[in-house]
Chain A
Amino acid sequence: MRIGVVTFPGTLDDRDAARAVKYAGAEAVSLWHGDADLKGVDAVILPGGFSYGDYLRCGAISRFAPVMTEIIAQANKGMPLLGICNGFQVLCEAHLLPGALTRNHELHFLCRDQTLKIENTTSAWTSNFTKGQEIVIPLKNGEGSFQCDDETLKLLEDNNRIVARYVGENPNGSRNLIAGITNERGNVVGLMPHPEHAIDSLTGPSTDGLPFFTSVLTALVGK
């Protein structure tokens, strides 16, 4: 299996995402923002960072990168696509996922080990979890507060599209403690916390992040 990891100018966690893909047993393929060629990958990860400095609005410029045109087209055909942190913001800007990520309610960057509850185990990136499973992975962002209108929130809740929720105190003011969501089809997932930093207890708080990356292999094999 070959999983693409996109680098935009200002992407930071691309090497970490590639490492997580390798830990999961797949081949990581670097994809450059300016290159519309997806190199025949089976799935794509948009990693965290501050693409284009996040100066206009997080992800607002990256969604127009040449590589995104092809990614959006493939995702609409069912290719698994995971956006982590800045990648989640790009997915919302690209309208592959609803809602928006806004400034944390306490108005500063927050990096901490965060407990999450997995709510959806049918998406392409969460099938190797058990429903209700609690995991601890790093959360680190300045603009991670998930916001959407009431109608969208109801749609997400009613259709089991909340992938993971924060447990305990709300770290950033997200509606309904939402940490991650998926699209209707379940192939596109946006996640604010960072599973790629929790694949080895030597360098992260746990290995709880690894199932996100093994799930997609299960999904691809089952296709």
Chain B
Amino acid sequence: MALDTVAIAQTSPDTKQPFAELGLKPDEYARIKEILNRRPTSSELAMYSVMWSEHCSYKSSKVHLKQFGEKAPHSDALLVGIGENAGVVDVGQGYAVTFKIESHNHPSFIEPYQGAATGVGGIVRDILTMGARPIAVMDPLRFGPADAPDTKRVLPGIVAGIGGYGNCLGLPNIGGEITFDQTYLGNPLVNALCVGVMRHDQIKLAKASGAGNLVVLFGAKTGGDGIGGVSVLASETFGASGPAKRPSVQVGDPFVEKVLIECSLEIFAEDLVVGIQDLGGAGLSCATSELASGGSGGMQVQLDKVPLRDPSLSPEEILMSESQERMCAIVEPKHIARFLEICAKWDVTVDVIGEVTDGDRLIITWHGEVIVDVPPRTVAHEGPVYNRPLAQPDYINIVNAQVIDVPLPKTAEEIKAAMLTIASTPNLADKSWVTSQYDKYVQGNTILAQPEDAGMVRVDESTQLGVAISTDANANWSYLNPYEGAKLALAEAARNIAVAGAKPLAVTNCLNFGSPEDPGVMWQFAETVRGLADGCLEMGLPVTGGNVSFYNQTGDVAILPTPVIGVLGVIQDVRTRTPMGIPAAGLDLYLLGETKNDLAGSEWAFLHNQRGGQSPTADLQREMKLIDFLLANNSIFKSAHDLSQGGLAATLVEATLKNNVGATITLGDVGIELLSETPSRVLIAIDPKDAAKITYPATKIGTTGGTSLTINGAEISLDELRTVHTSTFPKLFG
């Protein structure tokens, strides 16, 4: 295929272009022609197609996501809100923290190791791009049934990829979740969160301003990976005898990323950039158009200056390449010498590829010929917006009408059997097989890590200021009621922060759903966003950003609606944190909150193949009272552990096994009290002398000590409990 230039496009309006193969609808293609007043060149077509994709443009979700802005609670903590690479929150003492979660679901299904690895790499660069030093990562994961052959293929690869990349970056992995469900078979969810810290005055934004400033590309050389759909264009270049179709999953090089992080932080410290953007999805197309669009609009780029590791790449492929570990900076000419010097120190490849102009067009040339001439906002920020049809799916009324009917343990034997089942079922079993593949110690600031309720890292060694992060989702509840499900996930994440002793501050989210073209899925999505926005407003927690992943479905079967909610909190002195494990004998155990018959969506119901019923209703006022109580009385808790999936049963297993301290428990309606998943509950251990200080509805359920967990006379030795709890994963995946 000959080079397609703007000049050629102007004189050949009728050339047939593969817009449909690139994923554009006829009306979208028509709109591009209208914007440009001619047909697009093949490079422009490639740029528009990828930037107007669902992944980059949020075209199906935008109309709903705007609620996060409209319903935003007032918050003094928010320094940078939605729209930038990641939101930034003030945590005091002059520190700002940025955090975000993103999905890398589809690549991780195709190539588990590289898909998961580059998911970590991408989110870390988003955080770095804000000017922050990344300080921790965590990874909520979801898979098909634990014993399914494909789960045995994807899970070990995904875990190794997260570890392989994150460990090599020197970022502690401090939390996450692993849940199994049939609907994730063929659609594993790999969500990656990163948190970073900087001083207030170090915040960087994605904008290219100041005519004459230089556009600098630094990091890895550009290769043919991650090109995906654009191979439609590429295939015409090479014909049948040329190189094979390129891999559409990117390949990561964590060593290059580690060096890029240190190099970038040194550049930021000397304040050498005007604006910066990482190259992730849609590569240079995205970075150049977003930088130009975020600034005054004018930019000229010489694409032939881009350093390549595959010299056979066409300009369309260079624009689309999703090669990892690359950054694009806008640098004033007076700073360029120092910028290049720092790159040389770190052996980072760097080239000036263009400059900011005072026009309002993004112009890209290839050996002197203009191949792209577009208004950048139309590529980056003014893509199509769809108000897709939505309708409550038929299953909702059917499942909501069902009544959960499961056997509940009553006798000592039944209680013991239920406890061993809960302790060993894959969703609740010990995850050390996974988390021991992640470095949790590096950087020396990890205060709490998995399996604690929240991950916690110290931000300042001299003042002991710290931040806590928790990610939560309960897809079973979201399936029954997506509006309540989103609120309940928010409540749980916030509770997990408070349980650890930190004050919830801000929210991020990763919304994983099926196809937006299915009105039922779109309804689940809309209800989820409405629930989350309402919940955040009620709890006074701003949404700082997020990510939407659609098309997680196989045929007609969509995944359970899975909004993963991340909450960030701040703790003034990390030495006051509360761990989840019972630390000693002789303490009293109290259950904060009230237990109702909430078996719908519970692990116990799931274990009995029952998916119906009605989810609990989120009572966020009650949740906030609980959080206030937890924060005000943190000093009397010897340990505190949230109740969620698996109810009190799962909480007792984890709280006793952590430090090998047993407990004797007495319950009334033992089956419900052990297995119901009523929200807003926490198990605390306190010194008996502090009993009068409990000013929140609470029930004393037992005392600590011994080498067994005994519930209403059913004695289970901790050794036996540990054996079943820890052997599930090694048996499945070892």
A residues with CB within 8 A of B = 9-10, 12-13, 15-16, 19, 49-50, 52-55, 106, 108-112, 138, 140, 142, 194, 196-197, 202-204
CB distance from B21 to the nearest CB of A (A): 37
- A111: B residues at CB distance < 8 A: 167, 435-441
Q: Is B458 an interface residue (CB 8 A)?
A: yes
Q: Is the CB of B447 within 8 A of A110?
A: no
Task: Known pairs A9-B347, A53-B255; list 16 more (Cβ under 8 Å).
Answer: A10-B259, A12-B168, A50-B255, A50-B258, A53-B254, A108-B163, A109-B167, A111-B439, A140-B167, A140-B439, A196-B444, A197-B441, A197-B442, A203-B445, A203-B446, A204-B441
Q: Are A197 and B444 touching (Cβ within 8 A)?
A: yes
Kindly list chain B residues whose C-beta atoms are within 8 Å of the C-beta of A9.
Answer: 255, 258-259, 346-347
Q: Which of A10, A112, A138, A196 contacts B168 (CB 8 A)?
A: A10
Which of chain B's residues have a CB closer than 8 A to the CB of A15? 443-444
| Distance of A202 Cα from B573 Cα, bound (Å) | 11
Given contacts A19-B444, A203-B444, contact A13 B253 (CB under 8 A): no
Q: Which 6 A-B pairs have the closest CB atoms?
A: A53-B255, A12-B170, A16-B444, A197-B441, A50-B168, A138-B441
Name A49's closest neighbour in chain B (CB-CB): B170
Q: Which residues of A contact B439 (CB under 8 A)?
A: 109, 111, 140
Alpha-carbon separation in the docked complex, A90 to B499 (Å):
43
Beta-carbon contact of A10 and B447 below 8 Å: no
B445 (CB) vs chain A CBs: closest residue: A203
- Determine whether the beta carbon of B163 is less than 8 Å from that of A109: yes
Complex-state Cα separation, A40 to B443, whole angstroms: 26
Residues of chain A lying within 8 A (CB to CB) of residue B443: 15-16
Please name all residues of chain B whose beta carbon is closer than 8 Å to the beta carbon of A19 when the two chains form the complex: 444, 461
Q: Which of A106, A203, A204 has the most CB of B within 10 A?
A: A203
> Whole-angstrom distance from the CB of A53 to the nearest CB of chain B?
3
Assess whether B33 is interfacial by the CB under 8 Å rule: no
* Contact digits for B444-455, partner A, Cβ 8 Å, 1 yes 0 no: 111100000000
Contacts of A106 in B (CB 8 A): 734
Task: Establish whether residues A194 and B441, one from each chain, have CB atoms under 8 Å apart when the complex forms.
Answer: yes
Q: Which residues of chain B from 258 to 276 have any CB-CB distance to chain A below 8 Å in the complex?
A: 258-259
Task: Pull 20 A–B residue pairs with CB atoms less than 8 Å apart, ordered by A.
Answer: A9-B259, A10-B255, A10-B258, A12-B169, A12-B170, A13-B170, A13-B442, A16-B441, A50-B258, A53-B254, A53-B255, A109-B167, A109-B438, A111-B436, A111-B438, A140-B442, A142-B167, A196-B444, A203-B458, A204-B441
Cβ proximity bits B346-368 to A, threshold 8 Å, 1 near / 0 not = 11000000000000000000000
User: How far, in Å, is A29 (CB) from chain B's closest CB?
Assistant: 18
Taking the closest CB of chain B, its distance from the CB of A16, in whole angstroms, is: 4
B99 to chain A, nearest CB (A): 20
Which residues of B sit under 8 angstroms from A112, Cβ to Cβ? Answer: 432, 436
How far is it, in angstroms, between the C-alpha of A110 and the C-alpha of B163 when the chains are bound?
A: 10
Alpha-carbon gap, A200 to B667, bound state (A): 39
Q: Is the CB of A110 within 8 A of B255?
A: no
With contacts A9-B347, A10-B255, A202-B575 taken as known, whether A108 is within 8 angstroms of B437 at the C-beta atoms is yes
Q: Are A53 and B253 in contact (CB under 8 A)?
A: yes
B167: A residues at CB distance < 8 A: 50, 109, 111, 140, 142
Among B170, B253, B346, B447, which residue has its beta carbon within 8 angstroms of that of A203? B447
Selected contact of A109 from candidates B164, B258, B346, B347, CB within 8 Å: B164
A193 to B734 alpha-carbon distance, docked (Å): 23
What total of chain B residues lie within 8 Å of the partner, measured CB to CB?
34
B718 within 8 A of A: no
Shortest distance between the CB of A117 and any CB in chain B (Å): 21
Smallest Cβ distance from B678 to chain A, in angstroms? Answer: 34
A106 to nearest B CB, angstroms? 8
Minimum C-beta distance from A49 to chain B (A): 7
Contact in complex: B441, A110 (CB < 8 Å): no
Q: Are B442 and A12 within 8 A (Cβ)?
A: yes
**B residues with CB within 8 A of A:** 160, 163-164, 167-170, 253-256, 258-259, 346-347, 432, 435-447, 458, 461, 574-575, 734
Closest B-chain residue to A11, C-beta based? B170
By a CB distance below 8 angstroms, the chain A residues around B447 are 202-203
Q: Is the CB of B168 within 8 A of A53?
A: yes
Residues of B within 8 A of A10 (CB): 168, 255, 258-259
| Alpha-carbon distance between A70 and B447 when the two chains are bound, in angstroms | 38
Q: Give bound CA distance, A9 to B170, whole Å.
A: 12
Chain B contacts of A196 at CB under 8 A? 444
Q: Which residues of A contact B346 (CB under 8 A)?
A: 9
**A140 and B164 in contact, given A12-B170, A53-B254 (Cβ under 8 angstroms):** no
Q: Which of B255, B256, B444 has the most CB of A within 10 A?
A: B444
Chain B proximity of A175: nearest CB distance (Å) = 22
- Known: A16-B443, A203-B458. Contact between A109 and B574, CB under 8 A? no
Q: Which chain A residues lie closer than 8 Å to B169 at the CB level?
A: 12
Q: Are the C-beta atoms of B436 and A110 separated by less than 8 Å?
A: yes
Report the minimum CB–CB distance from B251 to chain A (whole Å). Answer: 13
Closest-by-CB residue of B relative to A140 is B439
- Nearest residue (CB) in B for A19 is B444
Q: How far is the CB of A223 from chain B (nearest CB, A)?
A: 29
B258 to chain A: closest CB distance in Å? 6
Most interface-central of A19, A106, A112, A140 (chain B CB within 10 A): A140
Chain A residue contacts of B435, Cβ below 8 A: 111
User: Smallest distance from the beta carbon of B447 to chain A beta carbons, Å?
Assistant: 6
| Neighbouring B residues of A12 by C-beta, 8 Å | 168-170, 258, 442
Cα distance, A55 to B461, chains bound together (Å): 33
Task: Provide the bound-state CA to CA distance between A140 and B440, in Å.
Answer: 9
Which of chain B's residues have a CB closer than 8 A to the CB of A138?
A: 441
**Cβ contacts under 8 Å, A140 to chain B:** 167, 439, 441-442
Q: Chain A residues near B442: list those with CB within 8 A.
A: 12-13, 16, 140, 197
CB distance from A189 to the nearest CB of B (A): 20
CA distance A108 to B167 in the complex (A): 12
- Assembly CA distance A140 to B168 (angstroms): 12
Nearest chain B CB to A152's CB is how many angstroms away?
29
B255: chain A residues at CB < 8 Å are 9-10, 50, 52-55
- Please report the C-alpha to C-alpha distance between residue A49 and residue B262 in the assembled complex, in whole angstroms: 14
Smallest CB separation, A92 vs chain B (Å): 20
CA distance in complex: A55, B252 (Å): 13
Give Cα A111–Cα B443 distance, bound, in whole angstroms: 14
Q: Chain B's nearest CB lies how many Å from the CB of A213?
A: 13
List residues of chain B with CB within 8 A of the CB of A54: 168, 255
* Cβ-closest chain A residue relative to B577: A202
**In the bound complex, do residue B446 and residue A110 qualify as a contact, i.e. CB atoms below 8 Å apart?**
no
In angstroms, how far is the closest chain B Cβ from the Cβ of A66? 14
* CB proximity of B426 to chain A, nearest CB, Å: 19
Contacting residues, chain B, for A202 (C-beta < 8 A): 447, 458, 574-575
**Identity of the chain A residue whose Cβ is nearest the Cβ of B457 in the assembled complex:** A203
The residues of B that contact A142 with a CB separation of less than 8 Å are 167
Closest residue of A by beta carbon distance from B444: A16
- A196–B442 alpha-carbon span in the complex (Å): 10
* B573 smallest CB distance to A (angstroms): 10
In the bound complex, CA of A186 to CA of B347 (Å) = 36
Q: List the A side residues contacting B458 at CB < 8 Å.
A: 202-203
CA distance in complex: A108, B447 (Å)? 25
Q: How far is the CA of A12 from the CA of B135 in the complex (A)?
A: 12
Most buried by A among B163, B256, B439, B461: B439
Interface centre among B169, B256, B441, B574, by most chain A C-beta atoms within 10 angstroms, is B441
CA A111 – CA B458 in complex, angstroms?
20
Q: Which of B432, B437, B574 has the most CB of A within 10 A?
A: B437
Inter-chain contacts of A194 with B (CB < 8 A) = 441
How many Å lie between the Cα of A108 and that of B733 in the bound state? Answer: 12
User: How many angstroms between the C-alpha atoms of A63 and B170 in the bound complex?
Assistant: 21
Smallest CB gap from B163: residue in A: A109
B572 nearest CB across to chain A (Å): 15
Distance (whole angstroms) from the CB of B461 to the closest CB of chain A: 8
Counting chain A CB atoms within 10 Å of each CB, which of B443, B461, B574, B734 scores highest?
A: B443
**B374 CB, min distance to chain A CBs, angstroms:** 38
Residues of B within 8 A of A52 (CB): 255
B120: shortest Cβ distance to chain A, in Å? Answer: 14
